[in-house]
Structure 1
């Protein structure tokens, strides 16, 4: 880490503990981009586990829920905490832009019964039987990706490995042309980045690329709806009784959800695993000595990384939580990134421990009706890539600190510079 990043983190920590508690605002993308948000969440869990942040220049007022059990209570109570107004804490600017276009609803942005029937339509794509069928293909692709990496030369792990494997898998799920698979990665980054970050140059640029994405998927719908049903996500939606009459905006919203959901979690955990093992060489030694620890390592990385930092809900009525009254219409942010570091629930939570007794005891996939539909696919891809890595490379060495995503939602890596010194 360079001195500038260290100075930033030290200043952020001092500010987190000196700022009056009522003035704390954890939704600062600059903090996440410098991995400097932890002290704010440490303080919130300790002093104000249900905390109100007043409106500021960037956001309307919102509640922060920072402890594991309180997050569970919100996440599993969809009757009081609704997803219908969106599942991400939006900036005011983003809300204004969103209001310029017709709004659709994906199933993650719906409450029952609409949520249930739409989710059920696509869930067979990630059911155990299909994952078993996908596994050999994922393994073949992982092997080819790894065999093509340079040895002894610096390269970007995010670009050549994390993005590539997830794009291949996502293209298969959509039956999207493999030759254009990186369209999906690009569009995911366009949807999740604010202008000036990632590939997004401006709001106009984001609108143009959203239209390009939707045009491509409209073509897929037109092709699939007039053909015999196939086992891909678009065909499933085009033929299922619950979704075949979706409005264009609802279809587009589901496409966005599936692109982001199929990309960010797995991609950023693949990168996060390389980073975490480099930062914890004793754990890397354990993994090399005992590859049977891979499934545990995967779950521990998903917790430690927390690839999506939060989910948001809207209160449908007044509700008391930890002595604070959340009013009807208030936005409530569940900070998974904080709950996964709650020492009341997880022993020594800041440690990266691939032999943790209950490694799947984390919040990263959410809970309740909106628990990540593709969680097993994410774990499968991570497990396979690491089985193939250990079969080939004694070490993947971090060259310098990564460039992190500038976002309070996606907690990930833009670049991760590494060197593979040698092959097995």
Structure 2
């Protein structure tokens, strides 16, 4: 894969544009800029010149961009002022539809958030992770052994999606032969404004209601079962704060668990192969020192930042790094920018697999909403690379991947690779 950045004739020079346009006109919440992987000079300028920046988006209206690491931390750890509650708008810049609102525990404030979160937390307890490690390794080996040699194939679909969807089906005890439905519902849930996924809000609603119908059947099976399982739905049916949820709150929490168990890991798996090709010296370093794999997992999650932002809504007037945020304002914490903050991560745009502070990455968030399944995601990436290094000297990326058209999910839809014969 060529590392040279070639500017096709007629395309925008985003570096020149980012640094020359009026600061007030910068709208980083543009899915086209994300899909083109052209966000970096805009975030760099915002971090330097306007780390708490007010912008306008035709999709989302007025919002504040918070782009420096320390300022993001200040917002993320202050839930008393910066609310994630669905009643105030939720966790993404897109406002919820008034008659199709999806409460979920990540989009709740304490105490209800804490009560619902603790219900599902045991699924990723250390003893469960230990029990699953053998299954994850077995499945990973089977997938890798099935890949063609000397032929080009799509890494996203054949490896990243398949491995994460298998794990997700296990977490839900979902019918294994129907597991790709989980991937589709994840894409639909986060792709409401992405015409590559759904045509309009009517299709978006209809597919999510199909998800609700399927999981309602599963709920009814679990509450009538004489042998309770160790899966997420069983946990929800038995939790004091979740067993009496209304249908939309149930759907909201299902969507949260599907997206949380899917998007972060699958896009980091793809990013790991892409990055080690882009920074070939780091691939050689990994081959020479496989014990760097755990740190590689953290560094890839930092560099990729699979969920680009989380939104909060100000519950009162507050001054943040000199910016006067008003009650009711939308605030976007751009984790994707905080993870490239040079004041925290030296040479932040590069993947450095032995980076000493890679675990300071903020892709999982901070405070009460820190990702429940972060250890499971790291474990899956770790096992993937342990099994890759047992089998292949290299995995070659053949051309630039196709990226997701989204300002929320920072991911990949296609990446052609080849394993040398």
| Alignment-derived partner of residue 185 in structure 1 | 183
* C-alpha contact (below 8 Å) 2:7/2:13 kept by paired residues: no
Q: Does the alignment pair 1:77 with 2:66? A: no
Which whole-Å CA distance do the structure 2 matches of 1:336 and 1:196 have between them? 21
Runs of 4+ in 1 over 4 A off after TM superposition: 1-10
Q: Does the alignment pair 1:237 with 2:236? A: yes
Partner SS, residue 77 of structure 1: coil
C-alpha displacement at 1:104, in angstroms? 3.3
C-alpha displacement at 1:201, in angstroms? 3.1
Counterparts of residues 296-311 of structure 1 (less than 5 Å): 296-311=295-310
Which whole-Å CA distance do the structure 2 matches of 1:120 and 1:138 have between them? 24
Which segments of 5 or more consecutive residues in structure 1 lack a partner in the other structure?
Answer: none
| Alignment-derived partner of residue 324 in structure 2 | 325
Alpha-carbon deviations, 1:328-364, whole Å to 9, x = none?
0000000001000111111121121001112111110
C-alpha displacement at 1:373, in angstroms? 0.4
| Alignment-derived partner of residue 375 in structure 2 | 376
Partner SS, residue 360 of structure 1: helix
Deviates more, 1:12-21 or 1:314-323: 12-21
Which whole-Å CA distance do the structure 2 matches of 1:195 and 1:357 have between them? 38
C-alpha displacement at 1:14, in angstroms? 1.5
* C-alpha contact (below 8 Å) 1:189/1:198 kept by paired residues: no
* C-alpha contact (below 8 Å) 2:194/2:405 kept by paired residues: no
C-alpha displacement at 1:377, in angstroms? 0.3
* C-alpha contact (below 8 Å) 1:194/1:200 kept by paired residues: yes
| Alignment-derived partner of residue 41 in structure 1 | 43
Counterparts of residues 377-396 of structure 1 (less than 5 Å): 377-396=376-395
Task: Give 1:50's match in structure 2, choosing from 49, 52, 65.
Answer: 52
Task: Give 2:34's match in structure 1, choosing from 32, 36, 61.
Answer: 32
Alpha-carbon deviations, 1:378-413, whole Å to 9, x = none?
000000011001101111100111100000000010
Deviates more, 1:249-258 or 1:205-214: 205-214
Which whole-Å CA distance do the structure 2 matches of 1:169 and 1:206 have between them? 25
Which whole-Å CA distance do the structure 1 matches of 2:142 and 2:399 have between them? 26
* C-alpha contact (below 8 Å) 2:194/2:406 kept by paired residues: no
Task: Give 1:135's match in structure 2, choosing from 133, 136, 160.
Answer: 133
Alpha-carbon deviations, 1:122-141, whole Å to 9, x = none?
00001111000011000000
C-alpha displacement at 1:5, in angstroms? 5.8
Counterparts of residues 85-164 of structure 1 (less than 5 Å): 85-90=89-94, 95=96, 98-101=97-100, 103-164=101-162
| Alignment-derived partner of residue 414 in structure 1 | 413
Partner SS, residue 123 of structure 1: helix
Q: Does the alignment pair 1:338 with 2:324? A: no
C-alpha displacement at 1:282, in angstroms? 0.4
* C-alpha contact (below 8 Å) 1:78/1:111 kept by paired residues: yes
Which segments of 5 or more consecutive residues in structure 2 lack a partner in the other structure?
Answer: none
| Alignment-derived partner of residue 18 in structure 2 | 16
Which whole-Å CA distance do the structure 2 matches of 1:115 and 1:154 have between them? 45
Deviates more, 1:1-10 or 1:360-369: 1-10
Which whole-Å CA distance do the structure 1 matches of 2:344 and 2:10 have between them? 29
Which whole-Å CA distance do the structure 2 matches of 1:64 and 1:6 have between them? 30
* C-alpha contact (below 8 Å) 1:190/1:198 kept by paired residues: no
Which whole-Å CA distance do the structure 2 matches of 1:220 and 1:193 have between them? 25
* TM-score, scaled to structure 2: 0.96
* C-alpha contact (below 8 Å) 2:314/2:325 kept by paired residues: yes
* C-alpha contact (below 8 Å) 2:46/2:67 kept by paired residues: yes
Which whole-Å CA distance do the structure 2 matches of 1:81 and 1:369 have between them? 12
* C-alpha contact (below 8 Å) 1:16/1:40 kept by paired residues: yes
Which whole-Å CA distance do the structure 1 matches of 2:111 and 2:9 have between them? 50
C-alpha displacement at 1:202, in angstroms? 3.0
C-alpha displacement at 1:207, in angstroms? 1.8
* C-alpha contact (below 8 Å) 1:307/1:411 kept by paired residues: yes
C-alpha displacement at 1:214, in angstroms? 0.7
* C-alpha contact (below 8 Å) 1:81/1:314 kept by paired residues: yes
